[in-house]
């Protein structure tokens, strides 16, 4: 009985940490490097017939060249709404529209802009690490309550604490690897 409480707690925490890592990966993908990537715009909210819709649901996105992104709306009527959403975003790129598709040409990043983006990515990584640590703390609190209610023993609590520490270290290490990869990608000329 005791072991299943601890096991369930640790597994639940693992699942939540996996989701935190996935969220961090999405955040990292939205930070612009020197290359064009559909991830930069696919979640962009477009005002379409009075409702905010993610761009990926109303247009096809392709990368014909390393620094060019082509957006093909499924409905030509959405062209101007997509263009407005891109201009309002923090991409800092002016879309060019030929009446059927929208082209985004990504200029090469300056050294200064690369360093700014590295700072942004580091901040996002730190947010994700804090989220992972908060999950550990919440899990630990649940186990403390179970121990106080005599549902689990002190030895079980200590064992669970070590497992949570291992889990936290594993996911923080994963975030560090993701950060190092993204930094390398950003600083690459």
Asked if 116 and 173 sit in the same domain, the reply is: yes
Out of 49, 80, 105, a domain closes at 105
Asked if 91 and 122 sit in the same domain, the reply is: no
Asked if 92 and 75 sit in the same domain, the reply is: yes
Asked if 42 and 97 sit in the same domain, the reply is: yes
Q: What is the pLDDT of residue 34?
A: 67
Q: What is the pLDDT of residue 158?
A: 92
Q: What is the pLDDT of residue 73?
A: 92
Q: What is the pLDDT of residue 1?
A: 41
Asked if 77 and 121 sit in the same domain, the reply is: no
Which among 37, 76, 33, 39 has a CA at the least distance from the CA of 54? 39
- Is the separation of the CB atoms in 4 and 158 below 8 Å? no
pTM > 0.85: yes or no:
no
Q: Model confidence over 123-143: pLDDT tens digits?
A: 999 999 999 999 999 999 999
Q: What is the pLDDT of residue 29?
A: 80
The CATH number for 50's domain is 3.30.1360.40
pLDDT means per 10 residues in the chain (189 residues)? 79 94 87 75 86 89 88 89 86 84 84 86 94 95 90 90 94 95 83
Q: By 3-state DSSP, what share of the chain in percent is helix, strand and coil, each rounded to 5?
A: 65, 15, 20
Q: What is the pLDDT of residue 106?
A: 81
Q: What is the pLDDT of residue 160?
A: 92
The CATH number for 138's domain is 1.10.132.20
Q: What is the pLDDT of residue 14?
A: 95
User: CA-based angle 164:3:145, to the nearest 5?
Assistant: 65
Out of 105, 126, 153, a domain closes at 105
Q: What is the pLDDT of residue 189?
A: 63
């Amino acid at each position: 009985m005791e072991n299943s409480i601890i096991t369930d707690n640790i597994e639940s925490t693992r699942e939540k940490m996996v989701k935190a890592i996935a969220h961090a990966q999405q955040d990292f993908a939205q930070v612009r490097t020197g290359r064009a990537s559909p991830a930069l715009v696919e979640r962009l909210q477009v005002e379409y017939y009075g409702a905010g819709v993610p761009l990926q649901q109303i247009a096809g996105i392709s990368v014909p060249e390393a620094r060019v992104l082509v957006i093909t709306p499924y409905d030509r009527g959405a062209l101007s709404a997509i263009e407005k959403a891109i201009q309002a975003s923090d991409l800092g790129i002016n879309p060019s529209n030929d009446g059927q598709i929208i082209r985004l040409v990504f200029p090469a990043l300056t050294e200064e802009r690369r360093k700014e983006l590295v700072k942004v990515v580091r901040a996002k990584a730190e947010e994700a690490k804090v989220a992972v640590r908060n999950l550990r703390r919440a899990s630990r609190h649940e186990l403390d309550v179970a121990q106080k209610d005599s549902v689990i023993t002190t030895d079980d609590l200590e064992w669970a604490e070590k497992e949570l520490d291992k889990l936290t270290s594993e996911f923080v290490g994963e975030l560090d690897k993701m950060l190092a990869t993204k930094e390398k990608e950003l600083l690459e000329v």
